[in-house]
Amino acid sequence: MKLTTAGESHGKGLFAILEGLPAGLKIDCGEIDAWLARRQSGYGRGARQKIERDRAEILSGVRNGVTLGSPMTLAVWNKDYGNWERYMAPEGCDVSARTLTKVRPGHADLTGLKKYGGTDARNILERASARESAVRVAAGAVCRQLLAAIGIEVSGYVRSVGGVTDEREYAFCELSRRLPELFMMDEGVQREAMAFIDGCAAAGDTCGGVAELRVKGVKSGFGSCMTYEEKLDARLAAALMSIQAVKGVEVGAGFAAAAARGSRVHDEIFYEEGRGFFRKSNRAGGIEGGMSNGEELVLRVAMKPIPTLMQGLSTVDVCTHEGARAAAERSDVCAILALEVIAESAVCTALAAEVLARTGADNMAELAERYGRLPQ
């Protein structure tokens, strides 16, 4: 299975093509829209979320709510395009207006201009924008439904915001009670995190955070130890690192493992009749030797602070080479809840691709039968 996205932040819309979905998957459009709404929510979000009310439209690959096996096309239309058509229309527009030459630190602006040419960073930022993640969430919601059909569940929560961290560990079944404002688990920690966000907003500043992702129901043997490019942790890390603003990924104990002795890191293996092989701990995060081992997958993703600051940062105008303050388009103070939703979606998409590659199923009946025969 392959996912391709297209579209610009202020263009007509965002589009995703999912190639390789099996036939016979029942699509719940309401669930797709619910995940899009979650992506737009969260304490610290900016004004753009009040303009857009994202909904997904299926353009191909589905008939009567069921996949056909042909490429599935999803569209998320930009309501804000009406305000930008005269500057963004592909058929012809005023490219002299809404230009951006004061390149913004932390964005793709300057490096993109060096790579693709020109002096208007609008041509770079429109595609580099995190707005693109909306259609990845729509595609991820489809993949989530495929995984759910064979018993794989994906969830998560926000572990920290700007250094305000929840140190507790939570069982998968507890994650359903994550709090709606920030997807944190502890009310006291979340209040502290919200106060931190308020302080950043008052100072014209931004903040990031860490989200923890969990996957239940993945059988052993996904990924490979035979070639580096097939390693499951490498593919999941690549999917997560491809998200805008992500600067780090951990699997299991992650960086904490580097500070501990091996006896406190590696998960000992046991065996019981009727139960088979098992582990009493999961510091490997469900992946050993690049392959799933049947335990829960545990991943953490670190989001940097939003690089568009209302206070502006020092930069240079690429046309005049004079010092300037970076322009501030509509921006969030904190988008960690959105990041958690996007990260779940990226994991769903990557895992769906792994499942389909291993089972080779062309329809959902084949998928259920072949996945059912795999070892735990």
Closest by Cα among 72, 60, 92, 113 to 315: 113
Q: So what's the pLDDT on residue 330?
A: 62
Cβ-count burial 124-142 (b if 16+ within 10 Å, e if not): bbbbbbbbbbbbbbbbbbb
Q: So what's the pLDDT on residue 288?
A: 98
Q: So what's the pLDDT on residue 47?
A: 61
Beta partners for residue 361, in sequence order? none
- Domain definitions of the chain by residue range: 2-372
Q: So what's the pLDDT on residue 263?
A: 95
Domain 2-372: what homologous superfamily? Answer: Chorismate synthase AroC (3.60.150.10)
Q: So what's the pLDDT on residue 127?
A: 97
Asked if 296 and 215 count as a contact pair (C-beta separation under 8 A), the reply is yes
- Angstrom CA distances, 283 to 60, 165, 242, 299, stand at 42, 19, 25, 11
Distance between CA atoms of residues 143 and 204, nearest Å: 38
Please write the tens of the pLDDT for every residue from 1-35: 999 999 999 999 999 999 999 999 999 999 999 99
Joined tokens for residue 296: 């829960």
**pLDDT less than 50: residues of the chain:** none
Q: So what's the pLDDT on residue 308?
A: 86
Q: So what's the pLDDT on residue 312?
A: 83
Which parts of 135-241 are beta strand (E)? 153-161, 164-165, 209-216
Give the H/E segment covering residue 14: strand 13-19
Q: So what's the pLDDT on residue 331?
A: 75
